[in-house]
Chains A and B, each alone.
Chain A
């Protein structure tokens, strides 16, 4: 089965450090999403891309978060500087716009980030 690959699976870092999370979407998918899951807020959208262009990043704290797609096979989410409140599970999901995207998106296994 095709899958969305996220690395690292776990990350523990000290406050103030830069964190980079990576996502390899399913080959051929042109839409990529970043979600964050916390106990308090649940699952919330941070940003999403279509054909590598950002379509919505309104859920992302702009002062410290950045999301990019250097190419069609890689999406990155960076936090600089990291803070304890950023501790969460970060999910990447991908889908194919126009054909089949109504079938729901495929999620990766997530990156569990702990900022101490």
Chain B
């Protein structure tokens, strides 16, 4: 079974600065997808960014980018130019490319933005 670990329960960053959230996972599969979801106080789960395991290039979405290290099974999220609206819980998630399509989530990192 796959597991996802987020070792930072809480992080804080000054507004406009850069912060990196860590995620590691364990799997014996070679084909899979990785995701970062954001959950603000409104409770809505919002997809931030995704990465296909077969792609070497790191995914980028505006101020959000990932550092995907397949051999190390690491998938960190970098948020540049942090904004107050980035304050939320961030969840890392894993999904197999074949077979069961469920998302396996980490325990989350609560990000606080300091004005």
Contact = CB atoms under 8 A, between A and B. Distances in A.
Q: How large is the interface on B (under 10, 10 to 19, 20 to 34, 35 or more residues)?
A: 20 to 34
A55 B45 CA distance: 23
A102 B33 contact: yes
Interface stretch (B18-26, B70-78, B95-103): B95-103
Given A91-B45, A93-B45, A103 B50 contact: yes
Interface residues of A, number: 25
Given A103-B50, A104-B50, A45 B103 contact: yes
B47 interface: yes
B100 A56 contact: yes
B43 A89 contact: yes
A105 B46 CA distance: 9
Contacts of A102: 33, 50, 52, 95, 97
Interface in B71-109: 91, 95, 97, 100-103, 105-108
B4 to A, nearest CB: 10
Interface in B41-80: 42-47, 50, 52
Contact of B105 (A43, A95, A101, A104): A43
A95 B93 CA distance: 16
Contacts of A95: 101
Interface of A: 31, 33, 35, 42-45, 48, 55-56, 89, 91, 93, 95, 97, 101-107, 109-110, 112
Interface of B: 33, 35, 37, 42-47, 50, 52, 91, 95, 97, 100-103, 105-108
